[in-house]
């Protein structure tokens, strides 16, 4: 079917706005689509999928087109990545573009590692120090794919088998996740947020890797627990369900706007043990009152988010070495502040959705070197206690090419008993 010219124009306009890299790509695309309600569901999906395809392979498209012209990038993405034919584009393009498109379709790709991985130079250099070329390519190519849609079953309201049966009865193809005992992976991208199970709070959208972080911390009934960087509360709700809505679970964050996103989710969940609290900083008086009193603390630290490139491909282009340095300094401060909450014999989980050792193991090693009252607990042993068959060594390291999840890192730190 020929591509309508207005639909091409919408896609070019949306990509041009995204390429300013002032705001997250999903927010920019959503704003464009909201401003043009005349677009139907299929057209909206076309715009979003094409923009994100271009972001995932921006370096390749730039080498093919010779620059960052949004229109040329969109046309190249349609021909080289989304498989549209010259005939399908014929009525949408200008006459002078037809010959260029024919040449583009036949042009050989740059076979350099940088283009095949489609990382900026600063990121490629760091990942080359961590991985051999074969594994680096496998990781990079997995990050160039769209992420699956995972759900977490709210065990406070139901069991996974019942959820799977309900989804099957409603014609939604799904299966149990491989590692998470409360996860469900859907086939395709149905509008699950309109399903009764979602509206009733029986399920939440959450990547399997994110679920595993909460399983690793393994909070128990009746404990005092904190999610130190709660954001919109996805992990908070998972922890609260594992606690069976007992004990006391604090959801701290320095952003009132992010915490506001937790309120409707908390209401759906049916949990009564969650207490969202805005804090002004890592030194807030609310935190000082809890010093040395908490059984478990989750530190899902702000990071570059590079493990989520399947969902947020713009992150690799919106950040640089300066961003990494800022995040790294913040991670040290946050981890040290969170550690003050942990009681003797308690546990703290440091976690990121980053791929970089600088934000992961190096942070943990620096912390342990200056906090001798803490020690590392092997993640593989802790997961085995939860009957989760996943062994990535003393740290939890997840990656899409190995585990089918987003990229995550976690270290379990125990405060020595007094």
String of DSSP letters for 56-98: HTHHHHHHHHTS--HHHHHHHIIIIIS---HHHHTTTS-HHHH
- The pLDDT, as a whole number, for residue 120 is 97
Last residue of some domain: 93, 110, 127?
Answer: 110
Clarify whether residues 346 and 215 are in a common domain. yes
CB 338, CB 373: distance < 8 Å: no
Q: Report if residue 377 sits inside a domain.
A: yes
- The pLDDT, as a whole number, for residue 391 is 96
Q: Report if residue 127 sits inside a domain.
A: no
Angle at 400 between CA 301 and CA 304, to 5 degrees: 30
pTM equals 0.95
414, containing H or E segment: strand 408-415
Q: How far apart are CA 120 and CA 106, in angstroms?
A: 25
- The pLDDT, as a whole number, for residue 283 is 86
Catalytic residue flag (residue 353):
yes
**Domains identified in the chain, total number:** 2
CATH of the domain at 372: 3.40.50.150
pLDDT (tens place) for every residue of the chain, 418 residues total? 889 999 999 999 999 999 999 999 999 999 999 999 999 999 999 999 999 999 999 999 999 999 999 999 999 999 999 999 999 998 999 888 999 999 998 888 888 999 999 999 999 999 999 999 999 999 999 999 999 999 999 999 999 999 999 999 999 999 999 999 999 999 999 999 999 999 999 999 999 999 999 999 999 999 999 999 999 899 999 999 999 999 999 999 999 999 999 999 999 999 999 999 999 988 888 899 999 999 999 999 999 999 999 999 999 999 999 999 999 999 999 999 999 999 999 999 999 999 999 999 999 999 999 999 999 999 999 999 999 999 999 999 999 999 999 999 999 999 999 7
Last residue of some domain: 110, 134, 163?
Answer: 110
Q: Report if residue 182 sits inside a domain.
A: no
Q: Is 374 helix (H, G, I), strand (E, B) or coil?
A: strand
Q: How far apart are CA 356 and CA 408, in angstroms?
A: 10
The DSSP result for 149-160, as a single string, is EEEEE-TTT--H
Q: Report if residue 165 sits inside a domain.
A: no
Last residue of some domain: 76, 110, 144?
Answer: 110
Q: How far apart are CA 79 and CA 105, in angstroms?
A: 6
Q: How far apart are CA 69 and CA 103, in angstroms?
A: 17
Q: Report if residue 33 sits inside a domain.
A: yes
Q: How big is the chain, counted in residues?
A: 418
Clarify whether residues 224 and 98 are in a common domain. no
- The pLDDT, as a whole number, for residue 212 is 98
CB 74, CB 15: distance < 8 Å: yes
What the block records as the tokens of 319 is 């950040």
Q: Report if residue 115 sits inside a domain.
A: no
Clarify whether residues 263 and 391 are in a common domain. yes
Q: Report if residue 147 sits inside a domain.
A: no
Closest among 59, 181, 395, 91 to 76, alpha carbons compared: 59
Centre a 10 Å sphere on the Cβ of residue 75 and count the other Cβ atoms it contains. Answer: 24
Angle at 209 between CA 410 and CA 378, to 5 degrees: 35
Q: Is 238 helix (H, G, I), strand (E, B) or coil?
A: helix
DSSP E strand stretches across 149-282: 149-153, 174-176, 183-186, 203-205, 224-227, 248-253, 274-278
Closest among 124, 382, 152 to 392, alpha carbons compared: 382
Q: Please give the C-alpha separations between residue 351 and each of 195, 297, 334, 397, in angstroms, as whole numbers.
A: 31, 11, 12, 10
Q: Report if residue 61 sits inside a domain.
A: yes
Residue-number span of the structural domain to which 105 is assigned: 5-110
The catalytically annotated residue of 117, 214, 229, 353 is: 353
Closest among 216, 231, 218 to 409, alpha carbons compared: 216
351-56-317-136 Cα dihedral, nearest 10 degrees: 60
Clarify whether residues 215 and 101 are in a common domain. no
């Amino acid at each position: 079917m020929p591509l309508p010219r207005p639909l091409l124009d919408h896609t070019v306009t949306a990509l041009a706005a995204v390429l300013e890299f002032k705001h997250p790509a999903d927010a920019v695309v959503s704003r464009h689509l909201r401003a043009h309600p005349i677009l139907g569901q299929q057209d909206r999906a076309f715009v979003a999928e094409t923009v994100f395809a271009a972001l995932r392979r921006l370096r390749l498209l730039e080498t093919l087109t010779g620059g960052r012209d949004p229109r040329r990038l969109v046309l190249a993405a349609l021909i080289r990545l989304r498989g549209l034919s010259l005939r399908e584009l014929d009525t949408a393009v200008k006459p002078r573009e037809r010959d260029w498109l024919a040449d583009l379709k036949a042009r050989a790709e740059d076979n350099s590692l940088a283009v095949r991985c489609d990382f900026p130079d600063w990121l490629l250099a760091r990942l080359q120090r961590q991985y051999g070329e074969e594994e680096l390519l496998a990781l990079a190519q997995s990050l160039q794919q769209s992420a699956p849609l995972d759900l977490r079953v709210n065990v406070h309201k139901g069991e996974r088998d019942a959820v799977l049966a309900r989804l099957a009865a409603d014609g939604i193809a799904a299966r149990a996740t491989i590692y998470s005992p409360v996860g469900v992976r859907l086939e395709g991208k149905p509008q699950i947020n309109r399903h009764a199970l979602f509206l009733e709070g029986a399920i939440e959208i959450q990547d399997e890797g994110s679920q595993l972080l909460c399983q690793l911390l393994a909070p128990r009934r009746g404990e005092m627990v904190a999610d130190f960087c709660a954001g919109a509360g996805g992990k908070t709700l998972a922890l609260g369900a594992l606690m069976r809505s007992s004990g006391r679970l604090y959801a701290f964050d320095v952003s009132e706007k992010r915490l506001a996103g937790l309120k409707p989710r908390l209401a759906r969940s049916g949990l009564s043990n969650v207490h969202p609290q805005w804090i002004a900083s890592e030194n807030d008086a609310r935190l000082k009152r809890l010093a040395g009193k908490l059984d478990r603390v989750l530190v899902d630290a702000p990071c570059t988010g590079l493990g989520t490139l399947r969902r947020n491909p713009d992150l690799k282009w919106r950040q640089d070495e300066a961003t990494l340095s800022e995040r790294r300094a913040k991670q040290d401060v946050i981890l040290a502040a969170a550690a003050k909450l942990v009681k003797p014999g308690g546990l703290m989980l440091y976690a990121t959705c980053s791929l970089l050792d600088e934000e992961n193991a190096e942070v943990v090693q620096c912390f342990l070197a200056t906090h001798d009252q803490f020690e590392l607990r092997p993640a593989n042993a802790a997961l085995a206690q939860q009957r989760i068959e996943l062994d990535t060594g003393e740290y939890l390291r997840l990656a899409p090419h190995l585990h089918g999840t987003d990229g995550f890192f976690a270290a379990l730190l125990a405060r020595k008993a007094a």
